[in-house]
Amino acid sequence: MSGKPSANYIYKFKISILASISYITIGCTTMPLHEAGTLSSYDNIGPAEGKLFKQRVYVDGDGLSRMKTVSIIPTTYTIDAASHITLEADRSLVSNALDRALCIALSERYQMVPNGQPVDLTIRSVITDITPTDKAMAGLATVISTGSSFIIPGDIPFLSVPRLPIGLGGLSVEAEAIDHTAAQRAAIVWARGANSFQNKPRYSEVGDAYTLSTKFAGDFSQILITGKKAAAIDLSLPSKVQMQSWLGGKPKYPACEYFGRAPGLPGMIAGRLGLPPQWTDESPYIPIAENSDQENLANARSTKVLVTQ
């Protein structure tokens, strides 16, 4: 008997994956995918695609293959996106989590250098929309899911009690990678909403945005590492360096220390219990600039941004 799977088996496997995706998308937040005017160019960016999340991508694989050093400009917000979240500390928590995850992931392929120093490639991300998580509904969902976990293990997909599909949060981001000649080597317009099956509720206005920020970082980092569009479902295992950093250990490059260390095991436990990410993530607090400074900070951009540094 041949070890190669039959065509019928492959067909059924694909159908089951598509059915699972359709099932998940029933209870999810829809986030808009639109140009916010924060990228240096939209000329080469592709059409919208994706099921669990929406994205438009441009990537110059040949150009990226010659890059060795990378720096990350701290993520910013558009004025409209920032207005959706009450506390500056919460906005900083989300943007910092995005940058930290991006820095850790890119360390696998590039040498990470502190922002402001000469590098081959500079990464700049802007949060263009954010839907707050309804704290009351998240708290109720946590009580229900925690109680059900004593009967149905929460780690078994599609058997655990799904989260209530009300008050789910979401995140939209635009980002690009610019080389030292100001040429755009990669760009992405990305949007994703939390869903009832994959995203654990957390009692925080930015509970879902906090989780989704690392999802974005994973998708964009794969584009920058591989030089091609990221797969819809990433089945690759994290490396030793990534595991060490995610568990709160020392990052591969000191430049990533700027974004603080991941909350590690305490953060995982807190997430499992639905506790606010603010309780375990000791990200450096980076205040947002005053409105009076925005004209200078938004230099040469069609959409003014609030800067988190």
DSSP string, 83-109: TTSS-HHHHHHHHHHHHHHHHHHHTTT
Find which of 44-58, 98-112, 196-210 is predicted with most confidence, using mean pLDDT. 98-112
Q: Is the pLDDT of residue 22 over 60?
A: no
**Segment among 77-81, 122-126, 149-153, 256-260 with least mean pLDDT:** 149-153
Query: With bands split at pLDDT 50, 70 and 90, how would you rate the model's confidence at 246?
Result: confident
Mean pLDDT of 123-135: 94
Using the structure block, give the residue that is written with the tokens 């610019």.
178
How much is the pLDDT for 195?
A: 81
Mean pLDDT of 212-231: 92
Average of per-residue pLDDT values in the chain = 79
Report how far residue 140's alpha carbon sits from residue 145's, in angstroms, rounded to the nearest whole number: 9
Find which of 81-95, 143-157, 162-176, 273-287 is predicted with most confidence, using mean pLDDT. 81-95
Query: With bands split at pLDDT 50, 70 and 90, how would you rate the model's confidence at 305?
Result: low
Contact 264, 247 (CB under 8 A): yes
Within 10 A of 26 (CB to CB), how many other CB atoms are there? Answer: 11
Residue 227's alpha-carbon distances to 57, 85, 214, 287, 295, in angstroms, are 11, 34, 19, 34, 35
Find which of 75-79, 201-205, 262-266 is predicted with most confidence, using mean pLDDT. 75-79
How much is the pLDDT for 289?
A: 38
The torsion of the CA quartet 281, 285, 286, 288, rounded to 10 degrees, works out to 100
**Segment among 83-92, 191-200, 203-212, 217-226 with least mean pLDDT:** 191-200
Q: Is the pLDDT of residue 71 over 90?
A: yes
Closest CA to 38 of 77, 64, 88: 77
Return the sign of the alpha-carbon dihedral for residues 270, 132, 287, 213. Answer: positive
**φ/ψ (deg, to 5) at 269:** -65, -45
